[in-house]
Chains A and B, each alone.
Chain A
Amino acid sequence: MKRIFFSLSVSVVILLTVLAGCSDTRSKRAVYVLVDTSGTYSQQFDKVQGVMRYMLGTLLPGESLALARIDSGSFSEQDIVARMTFDLRPSMANAQKRAFLESIDSFGSSITPSKYTDITGGILQAIEYLNETRATDKYILIFSDLKEEIKQGQVRDFPINFNGTRVVAINVTKLNSDNVDPREYQARLEDWSVRVEQGNGSWKLINDLNRLDSIWE
C-alpha cells in the first residue's frame, strides 16, 4: 500500500516537474517599438500610448516588448526606455505589464524633442535586441515620419540584415513639404520598404490605428 501511495505521489511530482521544464515555446513574439522624438513627431505620443496598451494586452507570458526612442544618436542602450520579457507565470506577467505601463506614462511626460532623427541607429539597436530574445516572430514598430536626419559624420548609409524581422511603420505622418510634393512622402516609404526587404525583412505600413491586429498578419 505504501508503494501505491509513494508511486502516485512520485508520478504527480515528476509530471509537474517535467511539464514545468518543458519551456519549448512554439511561437514566441518579440516587439521593439521605436518612437521618434524629433520636433516634428513628438506630439504624437498619445497614439504611441494607445498602441503600447494594445501590445501589452496582446502579448503573452514569455514574449518580449521594448520601447525605445529615436533621437540624434539612437544606436545606444540608453535610448531604450523599457524592455521586458514577460514571465511565464500569468500573475507575474500581469505585474510586469503594469510596471511597463507606468514606464510608458512617465516617458510620455518627459519627452524632450531631439534635434536629429537617427532611424537607422534605432533599427540597428532594435535588431540587436530582437536577436537576443530568440523570438520566432520579431517585430519593429516605428512611430515616425520616416524622414531621417543624422548628425554630420554619422554613417548610416549601409545595408542592414533584418534577419526575418517584420518592420511595421505606424502612423507615418506627412510633413509640410509632403503636402507640397506628395511624391516625397511616397519616396520615403518606398526607400524604407526597399531597404527593409533587401535586408531580408518584411515591410508594412499601418496608418489606421483601428487596424492594429493587422500587425500580426
Chain B
Amino acid sequence: MKVEVRQLRTDDDCLSFSSGDAALDRFFHKFAGQNQFQLHIGTTYVAVHEREILGFVTLSSTSITIEHLSKSARKRLPRYPLPALRLARLAVARKSQGQGIGKQLLRATFRIAQEMADRTGCVAVVVDAKANAVSFYEQFGFEPVEVVSGELGDRPSPLPMFLALGSIPRE
C-alpha cells in the first residue's frame, strides 16, 4: 500500500478520521484546520492512501529556555533560547494501527526538523507524549524532560520528551 505524507489540505475529509482517542479525534475534526489555515500556530501533516487519511501529526516550532541558566553557559550556545520542533499531537486511524503509519509520520517529522535546522535552526524534537505512547517514543531515544511552563493544556497531561537532532540519522 502506497502511503504519502503531506500537509493537510482544506479539502481533506477530516471528519471521517477516527483513531479511537476522543480528544485527538476532536482536535483533528474541529481544530487542526483552523490551527493551520487561520491561526498559523501549527501545521498538520497527514498520511494518506488514495485520499483516505490514515494518520496525522501536528507540528509547531518552539523554543526551549533553561531555568536559571548561567550567563557563561548561555554564551557557549550558538543560539539561545534553543530552537526546536514540537510534535504536539499524533494519531493513527483505528483500522490502520499496527501498520507502521505512526513511524512514517515520525520519520516525516524528523525530516522536517532537519530541514528546519538547515533553514532557521533546530536542535531537537520535543514531543508531548500521551501515557500510552511513551514507550513508542522511548524506543527512538526520546527522554522525559521536566517542563516548568509551556506544557499543553490537554488532560490527562502528556509527558514532554526530548530527542537531540544529532541522534537522528540523515536521510
On whether the two chains bind one another, the answer is no
